[in-house]
Amino acid sequence: MTIEEYMGDVAPEQKEAFARLMQVVDENIPAGFTKEIQYGMPSYVVPKTRYPDGYHCDTSLSLPFFAIAAQKRHIAVYHMGLSANEPLLSWFQAEYPKHMTTKLNMGKGCIRFTNPKKIPYELIGELASKVTVDEWIHQYETAIKN
């Protein structure tokens, strides 16, 4: 599946919000990450050319960092670094209420938006911009060693 095919399959009521979210991440993610389909969703990864070891769960895959998925009942943003980066997580949790009136719906590294009309695009763009490829590799390797 390609990203274009994935976008074509997004539910009509989510399509505009999903496309805007992808655009915001594209505009803000640091240089060096590449976009591909991974685990069935558009993902921003550290390419194997930059990090040949790949992802420890499946070394044939590039190192995942950020992904966006259109689920049946929500749009999900996955930031793999949130659970291992306490300052980043704290920053995001503190910033969220400044951008939204709704309660933060979040798992360990998954942020869920059940209303496609209520997505804090600026905040998600800033979140996507906060970790460089080198910082992510360092954070990932530190977490794996522990």
Average pLDDT rounded to a whole number, residues 24-46: 97
Domain count, the chain: 1
Do 22 and 4 touch, CB atoms closer than 8 A? no
Average pLDDT rounded to a whole number, residues 4-17: 95
List, for residues 68-114, the tens digit of each pLDDT value: 999 999 999 999 988 889 999 999 999 999 999 999 999 988 999 99
Count of alpha carbons within 13 angstroms of residue 27, beta-carbon side: 12
The average confidence (pLDDT) of the chain is: 95
Do 43 and 64 touch, CB atoms closer than 8 A? yes
Q: For residue 79, what is the domain's CATH number?
A: 3.90.1150.200
- pLDDT value at residue 146: 72
Q: Which domain does 32 fall in, by range?
A: 3-144
C-alpha distances in Å from residue 50, one per residue of 34, 37, 80, 98: 10, 18, 18, 36
